[in-house]
Each structure stands twice: as structure tokens, then as C-alpha cells.
Amino acid sequence: MCYRHLVFCAVFFSAMLSFTAQAADRGHYMPHGMDDKIALQSELPSNWQAQLAKGEVLDVELFRQGRVVYRDASNGLVALRLENKLVRMVEQTREIVDVLNSI
């Protein structure tokens, strides 16, 4: 009887360790479609930096290719990363509030 409990515990713990290892491994893969978004970010138009001026409206394609790093829902502002620039803008109108050079 003790032998059965020992075998059961060994099988149970090995199954739990296997499940835990699989769950921990999930974080190393990019979500579906993320690799496509990274590829799109590298294909910015040649004059995209000239369009980044305070008060201007950001182009839809630039907005789609950027990555949202912060969203302030109470003020309707969003911070968008485009290569080495951080652009704060009004989310609904895409009006640029501020452009920061990031390190």
C-alpha cells in the first residue's frame, strides 16, 4: 500500500513539474502577429521625422506602425514610440502634443 502512494506521488509531482515548465516557457514567444508589427516598424517612410511637429496631425500609417507605450484614458492622451522618438498625442484626433527624443 505504501508503494502505491509513493508511485502516485511521484507521478503526480512529475506531472505538475511538467505543467509548470510548459507554463513558464510560454513567456518566451511573441504573441501572434507581433512579429509582423515589428517588421512594419522598420519600414517607416523616409520623411516621417519631418511630420513630427507640435500641433500637426500624425499620419494614420505612422500611428499604426508605432507602438503605444502609455495611454492616459482620463485625458485622452497616448504616448507612441516611433524608432527613437516618443510622440505624445491626443488619441482621437492624433494631434501631436509633444515630441521627445528617447535614448
Report yes or no: 92 and 76 within 8 Å, Cβ to Cβ.
Answer: yes
Q: What is the chain's pLDDT, residue by residue, as a tens digit (103 residues)?
A: 577 777 776 666 665 555 544 444 444 455 555 555 555 455 777 888 888 999 999 999 889 888 899 999 899 999 999 888 999 999 999 999 999 987 5
The reply to whether 4 falls in a domain is no
The reply to whether 60 falls in a domain is yes
The reply to whether 103 falls in a domain is yes
The reply to whether 67 falls in a domain is yes
The reply to whether 1 falls in a domain is no
Comparing C-alpha atoms, which of 66, 92, 89 is closest to residue 79?
A: 89
**CATH for 96:** 3.10.450.160
Give pTM, 2 decimals. Answer: 0.57
Which one-letter amino acid corresponds to residue 64?
A: R
Q: DSSP labels for 37-75?
A: HHHHHTT--TTGGGG--TTPBPPHHHHHHSEEEEEETTT
The reply to whether 56 falls in a domain is yes
Which one-letter amino acid corresponds to residue 38?
A: I
The reply to whether 58 falls in a domain is yes
